[in-house]
Structure 1
Amino acid sequence: MTDIIHVRKVLRLGGYRLKVWFTDGTAGEWDFSDLAQRETGPMVEPFKDPAFFNEVFVEFGGLTWPNGYDWSPEALHADMAAAGVLTFETAAA
């Protein structure tokens, strides 16, 4: 049985970069600039404004924004793991 992974904490690093801590004890930095630059549609249009991007918060274990857009924690964790940016952090962040 596989544990479900959730986002535990998020820290804004400036621009479209976030540091994300997961419930499995891993953490890493990720650049979400593709969200503002390449994605299209009414849900992602507000992301062209970095101030809106910075309104990110954690809700139900996923990254969420005020317009209801959310990012799957499992998919984000898998992408970050594949890119080699996750590390285990033993200290409480």
Structure 2
Amino acid sequence: MINLIKIEPQNNYTLKLYFSDNSSGILDFTYMVKTQSSLTKPLESLDYFQACFIDFGALCWKNGLELSAESLYRKCKENGTFHINQASA
């Protein structure tokens, strides 16, 4: 089971995500912010977006929005930003 272990906010709505298998990836969440749902609307505030945190290995925001590590891991692989730290693997 893959867990999210660290988050580093980058520019705008982009986060660098670190996973429990010594891999990492960068995801741009602009697409999600633009959906304008009740859970994503607060993310328009960059300060709010970057106040994300990890809870039980998932990416979370204080309004209850939660994204599983597995889905984020898969997105990183699909968009080509996935990297495995060979020195630690």
TM-score by length of 1: 0.86
- Quote how far apart the aligned CAs of 1:14 are: 2.5
Aligned residue type for 2:52: V
Unaligned ranges ≥5, structure 1:
none
2:54 alignment partner in structure 1: 58
Q: Which amino acid aligns with 1:7?
A: L
> Corresponding residue for 2:8?
11
Superposed displacement of residue 79, structure 1: 1.3
Output the CA distance in 1 between the equivalents of 2:8 and 2:49: 12
What is the letter of the counterpart of residue 71 of structure 1?
L
Q: What residue is the counterpart of 1:74 in the other structure? A: 70
Q: CA RMSD in A?
A: 1.5
**CA apart distance, 1:90:** 4.9
Consecutive unaligned residues in structure 2, runs of 5 or more: none
For 2:26, give the aligned amino acid. E
Kindly indicate whether residue 30 of structure 2 is the aligned counterpart of residue 33 of structure 1.
yes
Inter-partner Cα distance in structure 1 for 2:20 and 2:27: 17
Give the Cα–Cα distance (whole angstroms) in 1 for the partners of residues 28 and 85 of structure 2: 20
Q: What's the CA shift string for 1:31-82, capped at 9, x where partnerless?
A: 0111111x13211110111111011011100110011111111011011112
Q: Secondary structure at the match of 1:14?
A: coil
Amino acid at match of 1:17: T
TM-score normalised according to structure 2 size: 0.89
1:45 corresponds in structure 2 to 41
2:11 & 2:54 partners in 1: Cα distance?
Answer: 17
Indicate the percent of aligned positions where both proteins have the same amino acid: 27
